[in-house]
Structure 1
Amino acid sequence: MRKAIAILPIFIAILIYTRVEAETVRLKDIAEIQGVSEGHLFGYGLVVGLNGTGDSNSQVTVQSMSNMLGRLGLSISADQIRSRNVAAVMVTAKLPPFAKPGSRIDVTVSSIGDAKSLLGGTLLPTPMRNLYDPDTVYAVAQGEITVGGYSFSAIGATAQKNHPTVGHIPGGAIVQAQMKVSLLEDDRFLVLVLDNPDFTTAMRVAKAIDDKFGAKISTPIDSATIRLALPDEYKDKVVQFISQVENVEVEPDTVARVVIDERTGTVVIGKDVKISTVAVAHGNIRVEISTAFKISQPYPESQGQTMVIPQTSMDVIEEPGSVALLRETATIGQLVQLLNAIGASPQDMIAILQNIEKAGALQAKLIVR
């Protein structure tokens, strides 16, 4: 018995410690470094090798094909090209901030004409540029397209799965130029940007970093930005400094939110949501409509017509309502238990939460999508 009593306090301490640790996250998981972001590339290209599922007589596609053949030394006018095996496409990709020339990135290929499917097609070499630097070719994409769907038609019938007019080429682009990346501001400051701006979190981040390096190097600028002064001992070791900063543990703070998606009936409730004292009454009215068809047969030799007469009946059923009271100390768990106890469906829950918020009893931001 004494052995069991001695072990119990240790077990409880482990549980409490684990819970505290679970609430802290690494800084790299909630913030980004200003100036270090991926670039968005795009380019116009042609897909060939389609089995009659390409663009119809699109002037853009035909002219592009004629221009491409002209660069290969073949003089063919656009009027001479008649093919459904070619499709005009837009090629897009995301360029990582430190991708070097020669590395590969994935690309997405999307039809911009009336092609029915890109299945089995091959993308011709396509230069890809950035919107803010259109004069530089950052990557060149080409290769066989992978499509996660299909589209077949015959004699007026069509069968389609997913979107066969959009495909992917894993590693389909070779990087030609590296994006300009600026790690430091004025060569002296590292600027962090929080993914979810919050003044409390910004203050906690600054304090955690100062505690890590034992000096006042952090300055919160606003709810999303923290500026760090590069210590003298890290002037030539910027990467090492960033590595230590991004692994600092911090406990983020968030605004209590309730997110509702009316289209799908999804309700997501944050842990800090509180409910003031409120009474909730819930009841349903169900309407059942049924139609029966009666055949009216005329007498023989009466020259009448057989008629089908619909007979419709409607029943209105009012289900008994229920009233529940939530105290001011109600937690999210108590709210869920109450809504389940009164038989609330997801759609009912949406209406109840909206009305609780209108009554001023929901101590959280209600976001409706």
Structure 2
Amino acid sequence: MTKLSPTFGSLTHLPSPSKTLLNKQAMKDYVYFSDNTKGQTGKAVKIKIDLFPRFAALVDPKTHKGQTIIRQIENLRMINGASAGVYSNANCAFRYMLQVPGLKVFYTVLDGMGQSGKEIFIGDLKLDYKEGNDKAGLYVYNAFSNQYKKCQQTDLNGKSVYLNGQCKDFQAALENARSRVALAKDKLALFYSPGHCINELGVWESRETAQKTRDAACKLYDVIKFNYDKKVEWIAEEGGAEILSRALDSFSGNLSGHKFRLIDPLTNTPALLQKLTSKNSKPTIDEIAPVAYTGANRATNIYMESQKQSIISALKALRVKGYAEDPHQSTIASLTENSDILPVRKNQQAMNNAAALNNKVSHSKSVRVTPDKAALTFIAALKRV
């Protein structure tokens, strides 16, 4: 079977292939991936420090899957471009991609220290969730077939629409919807975003928005526009909140009959709340907070660090009346109580400090330089989170 090379996309995040090594200024952006990749055997493996929040969100070192991903990346020190799971970029020399469970790892190989005289520099990470056969769009229950069917437009008056996050397929998304929304089938619709849309959402500041994600947001915009004067509830979870946010960017009308709930939103939550409230959409009125953080989603927990104070301010400004008032205030209190707990940011700064010291051109006599081999590694910092 022919080994197909996947799309590499923009590669400006990787060191220039015209260089055979990095200068000290550029080296400040990288740390050793782990204690096993410092060049004792094979090639040294380093990773860009800026990738730490993204990697920490996607890889849990306490799980079997997380450990498998870490070991596969560590094994880069011993493998080459022809090894299983490694793809060479046909258009650019010395640039490669490693596929691991749920993740694509982009790297380049340059001259460096270590046993082999070569070093690997990991410059980007991207999600790699599988998409299944179902397409993005609105699915509603059909009583005649007793199944959910995809439709272009339909009257959603009195229905709740669930927008999924990362799921292995349509059926998993539907099961999540039913677990989140206790309604009869004919009252529950699903706006489904398959894996390729979640991969491309750009929550982690991706350099480009892919066409498939734009298409999904446009389809949701059409659904919202068709039902702007109806009474509809939107329940968006994880990346589904980002799809909702993008769809609202193009809608300028009034949504006074619409209500919303966000569950572990993986998006710019304050910006999304502003879009919803500016269109007169209101929080759902029940016993669940309109913005609910379950604590179970690692990606949301970590991404929230970058906007925690803004989220607290946005939630305080959100007017909630009815049954949701108490859980809403509890959410605010919990976030406020833990507002100074920022393990990702603190460990990322620790790596920046170590890399800057180790690669400083000159040091004052008062500065004690950390030996490079003993410096804080990416995985050691990850285990602190």
| Structure with higher RCO (Cα < 8 A, 6+ apart) | 2
- In terms of fraction of residues, the more strand-rich structure is 1
TM-score class, shorter: under 0.3
Pair member with larger Rg: 1
TM-score normalised by structure 2 residue count: 0.20
- In terms of fraction of residues, the more helix-rich structure is 2
